Structures are given as C-alpha cells and as structure tokens.
Amino acid sequence: MISVLPVEGLPEIREGDDLGALISRAVALEDADVVVVAQKAVSKAEGRVVRLDEVVPGEQARALAGERDPRHTQAILDESVRVVRERAGFIIGEARHGFVCGSAGVDASNAPEQGTLVLLPLDPDASAERLRARLREPDGGQVGVVVSDSFGRAWRLGTTDVAIGTAGIRVLLDLQGSVDPAGYELHATQIAVADEIAAAAELAMRKLARVPAAVVRGLDVAGEGSAQELVMPAERDLFR
C-alpha cells in the first residue's frame, strides 16, 4: 500500500525560512519516504520573487501582453529561454531548466503580496538536495525529495503536478529490456515515476488550504536521479 499524507500546520512560508526544518517538525519521517514540496513554497523560501514595480517592459513584452500587465509579460520573457507558443497574452515558455510550461513558471497566485510574482527556483534539483539535507531523516533510513509544480499539458485540459526537482530518488523507471508474460519486449516503456509521485501528492495538498507539502510513503524508488532526466531532448522533441 502507498500512503499520501499532507504535511499540515506549516506557517506561511517567507524568504529565508528553513523549510526542511519546518517540515521535520511537522511530520515524523520513515525510511524511504518521499517528501513532496510545492514549488511555490520553495521559491518563496529562496526569495525567488519579483516586484512588478521593479520590472520595465520592453517592446516584445508590450506586443505579447494582450490584456495582461506588460510588466508581468516581461517577467515571463525574462524567465524564458524560448517562447514555445503564445496567443492572446498567454505564453508557453521553456524555462532555463528545459521545462516547458505556462508563463515559464511565473505565477501571481499565492504570491507573498499583491504586485509580486513568484518565479521557479534557479536550480530545482539543488533546492531538493538542500531540503533533503535539512530534513530529519529516520535513524538508519533515508528519504527522497520532490519539488513539484502544476503544469498544463498539450491536448489535455487541467493541470497535473509534476516534478521539477528531485533528490534521492529514481526519476524514470526503465522497463526497457523487460519482457512481458507473452514474451513481448517492453522496449519503449519508461515510467516518469517522479511525476506520478508529484501528482499523488497534489491529491493530498489542497492548494487553498495552504498545505504545501505531502509525504508519499510505501514506494521503492530510493536512488540517484535528477528531474532533468524528464526533459525531452531537443532531437527527440516532436513539438518544438
């Protein structure tokens, strides 16, 4: 059985907060637990926030803004290494880490205050590793960490939470070379288990109730891995 436990009772996260220590005080971790932390909380603790009144919109931002504040659009462009699609003020951007998502991860919702925008962590794998170093791990046991964010998808409505940073877990479970019971080789099957862990955690998080972390218990995914493994290499990307 797998359990997903919300981490309740956390305070509103502010810049400089020791998020790992706060989570350790709120929940007793067990061996092989995976702690999933919402990107918004990680970014706030890391101070990855910009004030709109510090952003000067350029020509491209004014052209693409639509009904949006052009400073908001400029912040999105500043976070994008590539604009993948844009329409009516909505931008799908490739962020510095290779992740493709709406507004390149720039988000005004659940920001610290009106007039601020929360950005993705600069290096979400490093964020996960730092969090892991601050979690009180069980005696003789180790835990994994996933930094998650809510991404839209091509062809499907609604967001699902995915992994943008990981530490201490395998990210892709590779079934290549396995043989199913009929003898058919599963040569194309890699499961994005880190994304499925993020999605499972979201079910317990309930965004509006300020539960920015959950523990997924009962998995067997301890190991080494980087969320960068989830980024489709350009040469295999049919949707550039």
CA dist., res. 11 & res. 22, Å (int)? 8
Tell me the HSE value of 34 on the side-chain side, using a 13 A CA sphere: 32
Q: Which stretch binds a second copy (CB under 8 A): 13-21, 22-30, 136-144, 149-157?
A: 149-157
If phi over 0 gives left and psi between -120 and 50 gives alpha, with beta otherwise, what is residue 20?
alpha
For a second copy, the closer of residues 26 and 172 by Cβ is 172
CA dist., res. 113 & res. 213, Å (int)? 21
For a second copy, the closer of residues 1 and 56 by Cβ is 1
Is residue 15 involved in binding a second copy (CB under 8 A)? Answer: no
Among 24, 60, 142, 160, binds a second copy (CB under 8 A): 160
Is residue 5 involved in binding a second copy (CB under 8 A)? Answer: yes
Among 32, 74, 202, 212, binds a second copy (CB under 8 A): 202
- Residue 26 near residue 7, CB atoms below 8 Å: yes
Q: ∠48-166-196 over CA atoms, to 5°?
A: 110
Is residue 192 involved in binding a second copy (CB under 8 A)? Answer: yes
CA dist., res. 219 & res. 117, Å (int)? 35
Is residue 155 involved in binding a second copy (CB under 8 A)? Answer: yes
Is residue 162 involved in binding a second copy (CB under 8 A)? Answer: yes
CA dist., res. 110 & res. 119, Å (int)? 12
DSSP state of 13: P
Among 59, 114, 139, 177, binds a second copy (CB under 8 A): 114
For a second copy, the closer of residues 139 and 188 by Cβ is 188
Among 26, 126, 172, 222, binds a second copy (CB under 8 A): 172
Could you tell me the CA-to-CA distances from 240 to 89, 153, 160, 237 in Å, in that order? Answer: 20, 14, 21, 6
Is residue 11 involved in binding a second copy (CB under 8 A)? Answer: no
Q: Which stretch binds a second copy (CB under 8 A): 51-59, 131-139, 140-148, 158-166?
A: 158-166
Task: For 61-113, give the secondary structure using H, E and C.
Answer: HHHHCCCCCHHHHHHHHHHEEEEEEEECCEEEEEECCCCEEEHHHCECCCCCC
Among 25, 62, 136, 153, binds a second copy (CB under 8 A): 153
> Which residues of the chain form contacts with a second copy (CB under 8 A)?
1-6, 12, 85, 87, 92, 99-100, 102, 108-114, 150, 153-162, 171-172, 175, 178, 180-184, 186, 188-193, 195-197, 199-200, 202-204, 207-208, 210, 216, 219, 229-233, 237-239
